[in-house]
């Protein structure tokens, strides 16, 4: 299959392309599109065969449920059993935006889309092209991140093409995404809302609106012995090809530890990559040293993290060291993804 890659600079001047992309979805085809978090791989959420095609294109296990993307609040009603007050409140506060809510599904949603679960994940992205595309596609677009299973989520259209070129009908290129990490997922099916995946919308932001909110407590455990509540969080996602270790502690010690290890590993013939920040980059010596951004602006780090992991893969890096990041705000999501990419290898010096 030939995959069309189309640049959409602005929605108003590209209406025909968006209508055509919507038509592909209505016919059961697949279109990758940008959102404010990461690129999504879209298919018709109400068509079980589209879900099967999404799983096949990604090489993803079909017990891993998909998020349904909508473009208007009203579209939530037909796809859920009931809309609790909590759902209205967080939609008012955070939609369109990087927040996914889980509710009990209605019969309209095929089990193929929810990986067999009685619940459904729903999100309204804050991206004008995504919203126009969802409207053109009929209002219900199932979309996982547009990467091959096990690779970092794509933050640029060229990474979608690398992973899915030849397997899907079209890629809408809207440039680099704004946030760079996947949406926060909050489960509203239990009495107290539970965060299943941390993201840009933090626990304290949710608590301001909802009162008490908890974390799925498997999220930050080092051992991964209990299954997380979001089925996708159990897979070794976001894994770079190089062996990644996170080094935490006093910054001077971190720098000297990483440099010492890097030297040793390079002596053994490994190709070493280092993830620092603009504050520390010049202090490191290795084959590939990358700055994830400025420590004072964690949003910049979230935005570059997946690109850096992919670049290390492309450069044939076999061993990676990364500084640790503070776990306030989006730092929580950054460390959650880094720890998963590192298979929880973290050393404090």
**Other CB atoms within 10 Å distance of the CB of residue 192:** 12
CB closer to ligand TXA, 38 vs 91: 38
Shortest Å, Cβ 160 to Mg ion: 12
Residues 113, 223, 321, 323, CA torsion sign: positive
Q: What is the Cα Rg of the chain in Å?
A: 20
Q: Look up tokens 């016919």; give the residue.
A: 27
User: Between residue 183 and residue 242, which ones bind ligand TXA under the rule CB under 6 A?
Assistant: 183, 185, 196, 229-233
Shortest Å, Cβ 87 to ligand TXA: 14
Query: In angstroms, how far is the first alpha carbon of the chain from the final one?
Result: 51
Q: What are the distances in angstroms from CA 138 to CA 131, 148, 239, 254?
A: 11, 26, 34, 51
Q: Kindly indicate which of the ranges 4-12, 139-147, 168-176, 272-280 contains the residues binding Mg ion, using the contact rule CB under 5 A.
A: 139-147
**Other CB atoms within 10 Å distance of the CB of residue 347:** 15
Shortest Å, Cβ 250 to ligand TXA: 34
Binding residues with ligand TXA: total (CB under 6 A) = 29
Helix (H) or strand (E) holding 171: strand 170-173
Quote helix, strand, coil % in the chain, to nearest 5.
35, 20, 45
Q: Which does 65 bind (CB under 5 to 8 A by kind): ligand TXA, Mg ion, none?
A: ligand TXA
Q: Is 100 in the site for Mg ion (CB under 5 A)?
A: no
Shortest Å, Cβ 153 to Mg ion: 5
CB closer to Mg ion, 18 vs 233: 233
Member of 120, 246, 247, 309 binding ligand TXA (CB under 6 A): 120
Q: Is 333 in the site for ligand TXA (CB under 6 A)?
A: no
Member of 37, 47, 50, 145 binding Mg ion (CB under 5 A): 145
SS3 label, residue 244: strand
Contact 102, 65 (CB under 8 A): no
Q: Is 35 in the site for ligand TXA (CB under 6 A)?
A: yes
CB closer to Mg ion, 262 vs 335: 335
Q: Which does 233 bind (CB under 5 to 8 A by kind): Mg ion, ligand TXA, none?
A: ligand TXA
Which of 339, 338, 303, 329 has the alpha carbon at shortest distance from 203?
Answer: 329
Q: Residues 49-68 vs ligand TXA: string with x where CB under 6 A?
A: ---------------xxxx-
C-beta nearest to Mg ion: residue: 145
State the pairing for strand pair 4-7/184-187. Answer: unpaired
Contacts of 193 (CB under 8 A, 6+ apart): 86, 186, 187, 206, 210, 212, 213, 214
CB closer to ligand TXA, 103 vs 274: 103
User: Between residue 270 and residue 329, which ones bind ligand TXA under the rule CB under 6 A?
Assistant: none
Q: Residues 89-108 vs ligand TXA: string with x where CB under 6 A?
A: -----------x-x------
CA atoms within 13 Å, Cβ hemisphere of 118: 4
Q: Kindly indicate which of the ranges 138-146, 202-210, 256-264, 310-318 contains the residues binding ligand TXA, using the contact rule CB under 6 A.
A: 138-146
Which of 297, 273, 268 has the alpha carbon at shortest distance from 285?
Answer: 273
- The contact set with ligand TXA (CB under 6 A) reads 35, 37-38, 40, 64-67, 100, 102, 114, 117, 119-121, 123, 125, 143-145, 182-183, 185, 196, 229-233
């Amino acid at each position: 299959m030939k995959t069309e890659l189309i640049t959409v600079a602005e929605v108003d001047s590209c209406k025909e392309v968006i209508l055509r992309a919507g038509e592909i979805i209505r016919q059961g085809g697949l279109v990758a599109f940008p959102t404010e978090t990461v690129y999504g791989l879209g298919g018709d959420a109400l068509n079980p065969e589209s879900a099967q095609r999404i799983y096949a294109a990604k090489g993803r296990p079909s017990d891993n449920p998909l998020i349904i993307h909508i473009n208007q609040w009203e579209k939530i009603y037909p796809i859920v059993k009931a809309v609790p007050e909590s759902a209205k409140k967080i939609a008012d506060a955070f939609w369109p935006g990087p927040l996914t809510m889980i509710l009990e599904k209605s019969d309209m949603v095929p089990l193929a889309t929810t990986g067999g679960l009685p619940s459904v994940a729903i999100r309204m992205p804050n991206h004008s092209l995504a919203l126009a595309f969802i409207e053109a596609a009929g209002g219900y677009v199932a979309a996982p991140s547009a990467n091959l299973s096990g690779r970092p989520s794509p933050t640029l259209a060229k990474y979608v093409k690398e992973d899915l070129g030849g397997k899907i009908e079209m890629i809408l290129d809207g440039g680099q995404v704004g946030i760079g990490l996947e949406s926060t997922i909050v489960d509203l099916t239990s009495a107290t809302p539970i965060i299943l995946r941390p993201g840009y919308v933090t626990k304290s932001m949710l608590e301001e609106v909802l009162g008490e909110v908890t974390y799925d407590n498997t999220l930050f455990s080092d051992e991964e012995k209990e299954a997380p509540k979001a089925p996708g969080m159990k897979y070794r996602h976001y894994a770079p090809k190089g062996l990644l270790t996170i080094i935490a502690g006093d910054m001077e010690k971190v720098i000297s530890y990483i440099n010492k290890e890097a030297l040793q590993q390079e002596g053994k013939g490994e190709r070493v990559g280092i993830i620092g920040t603009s504050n520390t980059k010049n202090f490191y010596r290795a084959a590939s040293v990358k700055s994830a951004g400025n420590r004072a602006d964690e949003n910049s780090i979230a935005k570059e993290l997946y690109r850096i992991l992919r670049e290390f893969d492309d450069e044939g890096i076999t061993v990676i060291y990364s500084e640790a990041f503070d776990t306030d705000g989006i730092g929580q999501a950054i460390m959650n993804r880094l720890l998963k990419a590192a298979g929880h290898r973290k050393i404090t010096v």
